A and B are shown apart, each in its own frame.
Chain A
Amino acid sequence: MRRRKIQQGRTAGILGTAIFGAAAVLGLVLASGALRPRSAIATQEQPGAITVTIDNFSFAPMQLEIKAGTEVIWINKDDVPHTVVSDDHKLFKSRALDTDEKFSFTFKDPGTYEYFCSVHPKMTGKIIVK
């Protein structure tokens, strides 16, 4: 019985290495700038609210350029709660957003606004208001 369990463990280990290899290659591609989906700069093309999707522990787009007066809506598509908090902890601060919950804020004044998830502070984003 013990032998069978150990074999399962080894199989998982090999599989894990293979996945890790694939992730490393992807990391290389991202680092080279050939494919940078999460740091792409989205520019507003039409008036009205703009959505930032929270997925896989990141804000997409990570950097967003909008006109003053635009409403930004964040929606959490992850299985874990996230928050949207301006770096100064004052301008905007959402409650914990469960899956599919939204938070919105209208940016009235031009400037650069950095924010993060206070639950997972490695998650950061930026809104540039023109």
Chain B
Amino acid sequence: MSDYIEKNQDNDGVDRRGFLKCMAWAGTGTLCLVQGGVLKSFALADVLQKNVGNLKGDLSFVQISDSHIGFSKPANPDVTGTLREAIAKVNALPTPPSFVLHTGDLTHLSKPEEFDTLAESLKSLKTERIFYVPGEHDVLNDNGAMFHERFAQGTQGDGWYSFDQKGAHFIGLVNVLNLKAGGLGNLGHEQLEWLEKDVAKLKSSTPIVVFAHIPLWSVYPQWGWGTDDSEQALSYLKRFGSVTVLNGHIHQTMQKIEGNITFHTACSTAFPQPHPGEADSPGPMKVPAEKLRGLLGITDVNFVRGKHTLAIVDSTLQG
């Protein structure tokens, strides 16, 4: 009933088998359970029928991403509608999430009215709090000043921060500012220094969750799907027993495990993008209307303290 994916053995940075399997999951609804460095996947249908045991953890939170409020092209003329559906999906979860992470691209064009619609829509989320990091679409024209003022008050530098929840340490990073010609996502010297200090005081047994918009691993640099200085950031996290990295930007789910670090990207709530290299460009992908909701979705994460176990469930807006 379940597929098992072995740990990435060759150190080329890409778990190709994992890639293929995770791509095939898109649109089906999957739960990924990490135990002892091995990623186990189950169909969501099995989970809902309770065929795979108790997966309830100490902490559950949800990641949503890439809402692109303001986008109105044929790939999805109603992104506010699909965001509303994603919210309904979150509100229907058996365990309400302690908080929600939005991993960027709240808006399509950084317009005030787009931020308004996003903020207004998310008010109906049944959760204690929402944490944000900006996507490149949220910082157009003003280097993120408006985003910062509305969604990142009280944060450090250009909007990075950390917080603790139930023994886990959460770190929100900004990698969409000061991008250099020819380059990828960028964290920058100041943020890296802050990160090093931020985690220095933590015990290696502290579970770490890092979230940022652009993937902090090299998904497909040809399309800008990676971050130039992510290696340095990750080097500060190598000593920790459990690190989970949650990203958006690529509008599809992908996973990789490297040592103690699990990388995961979330679906968009707005429109899908093609698999790496399978189109001329990473632009919005137009799919038949009846297929769209199978390619949009949310990510539910359950955390079991003391077990180094993190269960990541991607579910689509379909059904």
Contact = CB atoms under 8 A, between A and B. Distances in A.
The finding on whether chains A and B are genuine partners in a shared complex, rather than unrelated, reads: yes
Interface of A: 1-2, 5-6, 8-10, 12-13, 16, 19-20, 23-24, 56-58, 78-81, 83, 87, 95-96, 98-99, 114-116, 118-122, 124
Interface stretch (B164-172, B179-187, B231-239): B179-187
Given A5-B27, A8-B27, A96-B109, A19 B278 contact: yes
A36 to B, nearest CB: 15
B24 A9 contact: yes
B137 interface: yes
Contacts, number: 96
A129 B232 CA distance: 40
A15 to B, nearest CB: 9
Given A57-B281, A79-B284, A6 B140 contact: no
A10 B181 contact: no
Contacts of B221: 122
Nearest to B30: A9
Contacts of A56: 280-281, 283
B275 A99 contact: no
B136 interface: yes
Contact of A116 (B23, B43, B136, B182): B182
A90 B139 CA distance: 18
B141 to A, nearest CB: 5
17 contacts: A2-B43, A5-B43, A6-B28, A9-B28, A10-B24, A12-B27, A16-B275, A20-B278, A24-B277, A57-B283, A79-B73, A80-B137, A96-B140, A121-B182, A122-B221, A122-B222, A124-B182
A121 B183 contact: yes
A81 B182 contact: no
A81 B68 CA distance: 11
A5 B28 contact: yes
B136 A119 contact: yes
